[in-house]
Copies of this chain bind each other. A is one copy, B any other.
Amino acid sequence: MNIDFKKSNLNDKGFDSVYENLSSLLPYVHNLLVNKKGKGNNFLGWIDLPLHIQKLLKDINETATYIQKKCEILVVIGIGGSYLGTKAVIESLSHHFNSLQNYRKYPLILFAGQTMSEDYISDLLEILNEKEYALAVISKSGTTTEPAIAFRILKNHIESKYGKAEAKNRIVTITDKEKGALKTLSVQEGYKTYVVPDDVGGRYSVLTSVGLLPIAVAGIDIVKLVNGACLMRNDVLQENENNIAWKYAAIRNALLQNGKSIELMVNYSPSLNSFSEWWKQLYGESEGKNGKGLFPAAVSNTTDLHSLGQYIQDGARLMFETTLHVEMSKSNISIPYDKENTDDLNYLCEKTLTYINHQAEKGTQVAHLSGDVPQITISIEKLDEENIGKLIYFFEFACGLSGYLLGINPFDQPGVEAYKKNMFRLLGKD
């Protein structure tokens, strides 16, 4: 994995000196993070966790095998960090049309508790009437409104479909180690239960049981995934200026200080769209406070070159782009020869789609650079467990550094309470 940066030719005045200033702070903020001396230091469990979960991985894989044998569908009930990381990893590593395969090897993962749309839940129940399923319920407290509501409805459904005794075999909970409504219920009912660590926040939880259980059920190798994170941990713990997390943190903060207000996460593969959603929570929720922070948005190309492309090229000069470059594809499809050549594409004969996609990516970066959109590129070899594990750890670690550079606590989310307070009042909760 590596990182490349091209600053804009048009508007790079302030960049170099700002970048140098920020770079000189990196040894300091690295120390804050690694030695747990900064704000939010009670939420740094994720830094070392991947090193110490071999036993947990084995246990999770056993539960996953049990669910795989029993079910066609696992419904994951969770919101925020209990939803986005799981979805990101599964979609980046799965068949694009998973739900349409005639012979699926592993259960489909569907989600609930991430929306209160009545039609969504109604449609979900209709599907669950017809299919064998299990539930994974994820909530630290058990009282976050959306997942709690979804679980109450689905608990009713699964108990009336299978009976209370069998339902217990089909419910796994992931919650606090000792307290809270979901923990209490889990003990009462005797559900298989995993622990949400106290020192890992929601948006950093994908490599805990929160993400790993459903990811394993989907047939993804969680040992390799966590191993990727361990490999990246070795890299980004190095205190030197070649550290790619240092570079990413410094570049994006320098661009912010130099007048950019939006960071666009760019992919060239639709399977990475949910990864961008995970990244948006990680950076938006970590940094969007005290009136600060880059606004995180995402595009998927070349699809969005025919949508937001015009704006990025030529609209208000608000953004820079961070492209996730993937070197190799899994499959092999080349442009076939056509003797009529009505579509004038024979010049691409025998070129692979990935080759063409890469040229589109290069061409786009040159075009956007000339339109004053600076370009960060983060490259990985391919979409597999190890590389996704690396990417996750990289973005998590860089987010901690970046938040400290910005001068905020990257591990809290006080602003999330505001809507809840109003909602509870409107709902007449005491």
Q: CB within 8 Å of B: which residues of A?
A: 79-81, 83-84, 95-97, 99-102, 108, 110, 114-127, 130-131, 142-143, 145-146, 148-149, 151-153, 156, 181-182, 184-185, 188, 202, 261-262, 268-271, 277, 280-281, 284-285, 287-297, 300, 302-303, 305-319, 329-333, 335-336, 338, 340, 342-345, 347-348, 351-354, 356-357, 359-360, 362-364, 366-368, 370-371, 383, 413-416, 418-430
Contacts and interface: CB of A to CB of B under 8 A. Distances in A.
A308 B284 contact: yes
Contacts of A269: 115, 117, 119-120
Given A100-B99, A185-B343, A280 B307 contact: yes
Contacts of A261: 261, 316, 318
B315 A284 contact: yes
B362 A83 contact: no
A265 to B, nearest CB: 12
A428 B120 CA distance: 48
B149 A348 contact: yes
A302 B147 CA distance: 11
Nearest to A185: B342
A188 B338 CA distance: 15
A230 to B, nearest CB: 26
A174 to B, nearest CB: 15
Contact of A117 (B83, B149, B271, B364): B271
14 contacts: A99-B100, A114-B303, A116-B360, A117-B270, A119-B329, A142-B343, A285-B309, A285-B310, A287-B311, A288-B316, A295-B316, A313-B418, A363-B421, A367-B419
| Residue from A269, A288, A430 whose CB has the most chain B CB atoms within 10 Å | A288
Contact of A419 (B110, B123, B309): B309
B333 A419 contact: no
Given A308-B284, A366-B422, A419-B305, A99 B99 contact: yes
Contacts of A421: 363, 367
A75 B241 CA distance: 49
B310 A343 contact: no
Contacts of A353: 116-118, 121, 149
Contact of A148 (B294, B297, B345): B345
B415 A79 contact: no
Contact of A127 (B97, B319, B330, B362): B97
Given A415-B309, A422-B364, A430-B347, A116 B302 contact: yes
Contacts of A81: 306
Which 3 A-B residue pairs are closest in the complex by CB-CB distance? A288-B311, A288-B315, A80-B306
Nearest to A414: B314
B284 A118 contact: no
A416 B309 CA distance: 6
B315 A116 contact: no
B427 A359 contact: yes
Given A291-B316, A295-B311, 16 more contacts: A80-B306, A83-B303, A84-B307, A99-B100, A116-B302, A143-B343, A261-B316, A281-B306, A284-B310, A284-B315, A288-B313, A288-B316, A295-B297, A310-B413, A313-B418, A363-B420
